[in-house]
Amino acid sequence: MSPLLSRRLALLGERANLPLLSQCLHGIERECLRVDGHGQLALTPHPQALGSALTHPQITTDYSESLLEFITAARPDPAQTLEELQRIHRFAYSQLGDEYLWSPSMPCPLPEEEVIPIARYGNSNIGRLKYVYRQGLALRYGKTMQCIAGIHYNFSLPEALWPLLHADEGETLGDRDYQSARYIALIRNFRRYSWLLMYLFGASPALDAGFLRGRPHQLQQLDADTLYLPYATSLRMSDLGYQSSAQSGLTPCYDNLKSYTDSLRQAVATPYPAYAAIGTQKDGEWLQLNSNILQIENEYYSTIRPKRVTDSGERPIQALMARGVQYIEVRCLDINPFLPLGIDLAEARFLDAFLLFCALEDSPSLVSGECRAASANFLTVVKEGRRPGLQLLHDGQSVELSSLAAQLLDSIAPLADLLDQSHGGDAHAASLALQRAKVTDPSLTPSAQVLAQLQENGESFAQFALRHSRAHAETLRSQPLSAAEQAAFAASVSESLQQQQAMEAEPQGDFDAFVAAYQASILQM
């Protein structure tokens, strides 16, 4: 433990300050594919009974019309966050008929690329823009990759905590800039240590053979329909999952907020030859928003993002530049196929301790060598994390993963204890103990359990996933919402549909001019 972390822990452990840590906020976004009763991609439109994907605050779509996204509010206790997420799932299942929510992150057997439906958001200019952006994603990366699903975990420390640390450390930065600097420091530490999350929670060691569309690969054949790597934790986060040759040279610097926003603004403004060759329009129809490295800043595939709640019509980078970082979004978490919600409270409690450690531990700038080592460690663990004796890079030396993981968990333990003191009980320490057991016994990790079930049951990946999808549906449907809860969801559905209709009833203006103004908004700052 660094002296800086010791001092910060002592300050937050004081009786007057301890309640602050019970005011951290937690939100979850869970993506999942809709599938039919045979485990094939549902080609039906987004159910109107779930509301407008454009305007509903809790239920939308991500890339595909078939890829649902459930969004919770930010709440002080992750137990409350998960309760809300469960209610959304239960409501969705009350409206899905004979369709299921696909249980893992890697997709079901997919139809031909041209058959996969892109999400639609209506006829307003903003709705059309969202559709064109996704058309661009299809051209750039293919539709198959866009059908991968994950869990996004949103986390913030209480606003009152930052001035307390700021005053203690005598920083010359203003309060807003100090807060942003500390969140960027959290992100640097996350880059250093997030390999641990992939080992502990990675749950995608196998995939449907059709996912690769005949691309060359180094996976092994488990059966006629399933490919895998024996020690993989998260093929979703490997170069087989989210990948982009255009983005390979884009490494936003996390020295400070400005360097991060500048790098993304540059990517949004810099043409990429392969995309320029496609063009933005053909026969008067839009193909992509622009031919730059990124169409918009959210196209950047990152494991974590600094975020700020946006005002109406505001872009994410504009919000960050205007008002600083408000929270972070962890984006590398697999859906756990054994869990109805894809995540549980024990995982959330550990994430809180891990992220608090990243926020409070000393976080020097990532020099080029350390930055490369962090990326290498992450990619090594997603492909080989459970390999006996696996070595990672640490301070220029090769060290066994099990030893590094044990040391890191020891460093996180005081944060778990501090959170337990603030909340009462021992839930964070108990979650930490569960993670220690996975380091001692890799067979306890979700990735190992997935492979064990595939092999013990003689199941293909698709059969395994559909079996769990059906079991989760039965669990969630056996717990119907109360009449009041069902009525509240029905009202939100109706309101969202009315909001979309009202937006579409307003004069839209020229769409080409709308896109041009949207593009210019980020470049003129």
pLDDT tens digits, residue range 268-302?
999 999 999 999 999 999 999 999 999 999 998 88
pLDDT at 250: 67
- Spatial separation of the C-alpha atoms in residues 104 and 149, rounded to whole Å: 8
pLDDT at 313: 80
pLDDT at 84: 98
**Beta-bridge partners for 328:** 155, 306
Q: What residues make up the domain containing 275?
A: 3-523
**Residues whose CB falls within 8 Å of the CB of residue 294, separated by 6 or more in sequence, listed in order:** 247, 250, 264, 267, 268, 300
- Spatial separation of the C-alpha atoms in residues 334 and 223, rounded to whole Å: 23
3-state secondary structure of 327: strand
DSSP state of 235: G
pLDDT at 522: 76
DSSP state of 156: E
Specify the number of domains making up the chain: 1
- Which tens digits make up the pLDDT trace of 321-368? 999 999 999 999 999 999 999 999 999 999 999 999 999 999 999 887
**Pair 234, 240: CB distance under 8 Å:** no
Helix axes 316-323, 511-523, angle to 10 degrees: 30
Mean pLDDT, 10 residues at a time, the chain of 525 residues: 92 95 97 98 98 98 97 97 98 97 98 97 96 96 95 97 92 90 96 97 98 92 97 94 66 82 90 93 94 92 93 88 96 98 98 98 87 92 98 94 98 98 97 98 98 98 98 97 98 98 95 92 69
Q: CA-CA distances (angstroms) from residue 411 to 192, 258, 357, 516?
A: 14, 30, 8, 49
User: What Rg value do the Cα atoms of the chain yield, rounded?
Assistant: 23
Burial of 401 (0-12, 13-18, 19+ CB in 10 A): buried
**Residues whose CB falls within 8 Å of the CB of residue 189, separated by 6 or more in sequence, listed in order:** 357, 358, 359, 361, 363
- Spatial separation of the C-alpha atoms in residues 138 and 145, rounded to whole Å: 9
pLDDT at 252: 67
For residue 497, what is the domain's CATH number? 3.30.590.20
Residues in the chain: 525
